[in-house]
Chain A
Amino acid sequence: MNRPDDYLNADYSVSSWLLTTDHKRIAILYLLSITLFFFVGGAAAVLFRLELMTPPGDLVGPETYNKLFTMHGVVMVFLFLIPSIPAVLGNFLLPMMIGARDLAFPKLNLLSWYLFILGSAVATTAILMGGLDTGWTFYTPYSTMFAHTNVVTGVLGVFIVGFSSILTGLNFIVTTHKMRAPGLTWFRLPLFVWALYATSLIQVLATPVLGITLLLLVAERGLGIGIFDPAIGGDPLLFQHLFWFYSHPAVYIMILPGMGVVSEIITCFSRKRIFGYPFIAFSSLAIAALGFLVWGHHMFVSGQSAYAGMVFSILSFLVAIPSAIKVFNWTATLYRGSISWQTPMLYALGFIGLFTLGGMTGLVLATLAVDIHVHDTYFVVAHFHYIMVGGMVMAYLGGIHFWWPKMTGKLYSEWWGRVSAAVIFIGFNLTFFPQFVLGYLGMPRRYHAYPDEFQVLNVLSTAGASILGAGYLLPFVYLLLSLKYGRDAGRNPWQATGLEWRTPSPPPTENFARVPEVREEAYAYGAEEAP
């Protein structure tokens, strides 16, 4: 095979991968690592979904069950979702989308991957040593005084991974400000870049607070310095405040990039300029900003003052506005577009539906009185899985399918792609919709056993999870097969706009032979087919 030089065949040695500063290769390193963790976190979910098939705790005991859902949460949130779209697709695409040869700090980019590997290795060590059972939220005083598991090791792992996330965000912010091609003004940027920018702001502003909070937790548990210890006048609720000051914005780290991906896909497969570009761009920033003001809605029943609860409730409602602006604009883009049902489009449409349901149920939870009824039930579990799995994972897979030809130069089987999108959509809804009902009926989360009357819905959910798991294995298989058997993709298989489609697939190491000059706005679709 006689391929021109590209980033994949530039050098085949192991060290050329492990010491690379090429943003595209680092993206591939992230892709491989987080795929591994996706399946690790998924395996834990398989085990506890099996346990929940029957009302009594027969497959695993309560302690193992607690460790399983903690492992699932920690791995999926910190080692998969947070790095997913930014570190894989963002790393790969951001420089190309803005016409740059690399990120502003390529070595820092490699360092952030190594920090990710180091942190995840420490977290994995905690799991191998027997795991931890605090839940991914590490609430004190449970995590400091009562848990007899590997809390310090696990928390340190998350702490280290946080720096990887901060450095990625820092790199993206500087790159977006300083590395844009001539003529590429802010309002000509692809919306994915706006979404990444908003995400990076959150990563840079919120993650350090998680860092110091986890450090205080380690100081209390490991060194006996009781910052949150009520016995010496400390306040465990303070831990929750500090934790959610990061972790609520982190929810938007786990959805904004997905929204960016969906904006790209919807406009491409509608063959239509995106509707309301500035609204979508600014709604990303609005979500990032509002996201910092709503953390208290996680503590409506934790003894927070009633007035604080009211303020947090109102602010939480406000987040619905920029979110809805996005959904309306995507829908308006679809309206009278020439829609084609390619795999990425199926994922993007799935995202819109599932995200809308997840967002709407978020309003239910932001309502003070209703939240008291459904707090800590499966209703909450279903809600955030609709956002994080129905939203972010769908968008991530949509993005992987959309840019796979660019990353690898190969086309995957379109038929299998559509099948997988459909299977995942069905499996997801069958898994999590029953959980809304379960929660509303009063089944609390984080228990390994439950009363008999909840069994039917739990069996449905477990059946859905099996379909969902099979759905996730499908792309793993056919995407890998496409590397060997796939047809060559060519520069631009989707006839998409955007600078990344103007270079060969896979792109050369330097991305562009000549730095492109931009003369028009993003998404000049449909100029030829306008009425």
Chain B
Amino acid sequence: MTTPAHHFEDLGQQREAAALGMWVFLVTEILFFGGLFAAFAFYRSTHYDAFARAANLLDWRVGAGNTAVLITSSLMMALAVRAARLGRRRDLQLFLAATSLLGALFVAVKFWEYAHKAAEHLVPGFDFAVEGPWAQETRLFLGFYFVMTGVHALHMVIGICVLVTLWEMARRGVFSPERHALVENAGLYWHFVDIVWIFLFPMLYLMGAH
């Protein structure tokens, strides 16, 4: 497993290509979320008061707890990458498992929040019953909340699937200090998804706090 694929000259070239490919992909992801963030920023400026009030419908304590979970999972991911570099298979498996479990916890909390919103009739297009002067803008805000956190959660679920696959590969001893580009790339992806949440959390949850 230490020879490069047929079209590469050597492992170094293959590794550099994989890393650059991942970075370009993350640029794509930034633009993908960027469209959403731009749209949100626009409405936030045009409906500032209504959005600040609607943000209080979200429980910042749950969001903060989930932020802590996600940051810890990123630490586990960083440790997993280090274990892969050093060729410590057992550590690699351990940290990959920890990362994906924390990721799963995050998604579970997210869905608990969604269920809570549904119980409070706060899901636009499904069950929405808010009265009052800013009902429509609240609906707009919550639409963004569900789309943005939903797309983010989808990225989390994809990430967890990748991590589980990597865990299985690590168990079979596929990775070595020379050959672990997949772990590095999964790490980049995981940190990226983490960073998206770091922006989403204050933007959605903390807006109404002041």
**Interfacial residues, chain A to chain B (CB-CB below 8 A):** 95, 100-106, 108, 166, 170-171, 173-175, 177-179, 204-209, 211-213, 215-216, 219, 223-227, 231-235, 238, 242, 245, 510, 515
Decide yes or no whether B50 CB sits under 8 A from chain A: yes
Asked whether B173 is an interface residue with its Cβ less than 8 Å from the other chain, the reply is no
CA distance A68 to B139 in the complex (A): 36
With both chains docked as a complex, state the minimum distance between the C-beta of B134 and any C-beta of chain A, in angstroms.
Answer: 9
Give complex CA distance A232, B47 in Å: 11
When distances are taken between beta carbons in the complex, the residues of chain A under 8 Å from B42 are 235, 238
For the complex, what is the distance from the CA of A245 to the CA of B125, rounded to whole Å? Answer: 27
- Provide the residues of chain B in CB contact with A106, threshold 8 Å: 7
User: Which residues of chain A come closer than 8 Å to B131, judged between CB atoms?
Assistant: none
Are B32 and A211 in contact, with the CB atoms below 8 A? yes
Using A225-B125, A225-B146 as known contacts, list a sample of 18 further A-B pairs with CB atoms less than 8 Å apart, ordered by residue number in A.
A166-B28, A170-B24, A170-B28, A174-B17, A174-B21, A174-B24, A204-B27, A205-B28, A208-B28, A208-B31, A212-B33, A212-B35, A216-B36, A224-B125, A227-B140, A233-B47, A233-B136, A245-B35
A212→B31 CA distance, assembly (Å): 9
17 pairs across A/B with beta carbons < 8 Å?
A: A95-B7, A103-B7, A104-B7, A106-B7, A174-B17, A174-B24, A178-B20, A204-B31, A205-B27, A209-B34, A216-B39, A223-B125, A226-B125, A226-B143, A227-B39, A227-B140, A242-B39
Residues of B within 8 A of A (CB): 6-7, 9, 13, 16-17, 20-21, 24-25, 27-29, 31-36, 38-39, 42-43, 46-47, 50, 124-126, 136-137, 139-140, 143-144, 146-147, 151
Expressed in whole angstroms, the minimum distance between the Cβ of B30 and any Cβ of chain A is: 8
Q: Are B39 and A223 in contact (CB under 8 A)?
A: no
A103 CA / B8 CA spacing, docked (Å):
10
Contact of B21 with A207 in the complex, beta carbons under 8 Å: no
Is the pair B28, A227 in contact by a Cβ cutoff of 8 Å? no
Q: Are B6 and A232 in contact (CB under 8 A)?
A: no
Interface centre among A105, A108, A174 (most CB of B within 10 A): A174
Instruction: Give, as a whole number of angstroms, the nearest-CB distance from B45 to chain A.
Output: 11
- With contacts A225-B146, A226-B124 taken as known, whether A101 is within 8 angstroms of B29 at the C-beta atoms is no
7 closest cross-chain pairs (CB), A and B: A224-B125, A208-B32, A232-B136, A102-B7, A101-B7, A212-B35, A225-B143
Which residue in chain A gives the minimum CB-CB distance to B15? A178
Nearest chain B CB to A480 CB, angstrom units? 31
Q: In whole angstroms, how far apart are the Cα atoms of A510 and B7 in the complex?
A: 8
B5 to A, closest residue via Cβ: A106
Residues of A within 8 A of B139 (CB): 226, 232
A215 and B28 form a contact (CB under 8 A): no
| Cα distance A224–B27 in the bound complex, in angstroms | 30
Q: Which residues of A contact B17 (CB under 8 A)?
A: 104-105, 174-175, 178-179
Report yes or no: A224 in contact with B39, Cβ–Cβ below 8 A.
no
A234 to B35, Cβ gap below 8 A? no
B-side contacts of A233, CB under 8 Å: 43, 46-47, 50, 136-137, 140
Question: CA of A213 to CA of B39 in the docked complex: distance in angstroms?
Answer: 10
Give bound CA distance, A291 to B187, whole Å: 33
Pick from B25, B31, B39, B147: contact of A238, CB below 8 A.
B39
Closest to A101 in B: B7
Residue in B closest to A219 when the chains form the complex, CB atoms = B147
Q: How far is the CA of A119 from the CA of B146 in the complex (A)?
A: 25
Q: When chains A and B are docked, how far (Å) is the Cα of A179 from the Cα of B17?
A: 8
Q: In the bound complex, what is the Cα–Cα distance between A227 and B124 (angstroms)?
A: 10
Separation in Å of the A230 CB from the closest CB of chain B? 10
Shortest distance from the beta carbon of B33 to any chain A beta carbon, whole Å: 7
Cα–Cα distance between A235 and B28 once the two chains are bound (Å): 25
Q: How far is the CB of A324 from chain B (nearest CB, A)?
A: 29
A99 shortest CB reach to chain B, Å: 11
Complex CA distance for A359 and B21, rounded to whole angstroms: 34
Report B89 CB to chain A, min CB distance, Å: 25
Docked-complex contact B140 and A226, CB < 8 angstroms:
yes
User: A205, A215, A232, A510: which contacts B137 (Cβ < 8 A)?
Assistant: A232
Known: A205-B31, A213-B35. Is A101-B124 also a contact (CB below 8 A)? Answer: no
Alpha-carbon distance between A216 and B36 when the two chains are bound, in angstroms: 9
Partner of A227, one of B13, B34, B147: B147
Q: In whole angstroms, what is the CA distance A223 to B32 when docked?
A: 20
Pairwise interchain contact A227-B144, C-beta atoms closer than 8 A: yes
How far is the CB of A11 from the nearest CB of chain B, in Å?
Answer: 16
How many whole Å from A248's CB to the nearest CB in chain B?
14
Contacts of A226 in B (CB 8 A): 124-125, 139-140, 143
Are A231 and B143 neighbours in the complex by a CB distance under 8 Å? no
- Asked whether A232 lies within 8 Å of B140 as measured between CB atoms, the reply is yes
Residue of B nearest to A245 (CB): B35
Bound Cα distance A206, B34 (Å): 11
Chain A's closest residue to B20 (CB) is A174
A178 with B33, Cβ < 8 A, contacts A205-B27, A227-B143, A227-B144 known: no
Report B52 CB to chain A, min CB distance, Å.
Answer: 14
Q: Is the CB of A209 within 8 A of B31?
A: yes
Which residue of chain B lies nearest to A509 when distances are taken between CB atoms in the complex?
B6
User: Bound complex: CA of A105 vs CA of B19, how far in Å?
Assistant: 12
- Residues in A neighbouring B147, C-beta threshold 8 A: 215-216, 219, 225, 227
Complex CA gap A94/B16 in Å reads 19
Q: Across the interface, which residues of A come within 8 angstroms of B136, CB to CB?
A: 231-233
Q: How far is the CA of A421 from the CA of B42 in the complex (A)?
A: 49
CA of A216 to CA of B42, assembled, Å: 15
Give bound CA distance, A4 to B98, whole Å: 54
Of all chain B residues, the one with the shortest Cβ separation from A212 is B35
Q: Within 8 Å CB of B29, what residues of A? A: 208
> Quick check: A177 and B125 within 8 Å, CB to CB?
no
Within the complex, what minimum Cβ distance (angstroms) separates A22 from chain B?
10
Chain B residues closer than 8 Å to A515, beta-carbon distance: 9
In the complex the two chains form, what is the Cα distance from A320 to B20 in whole Å? 33
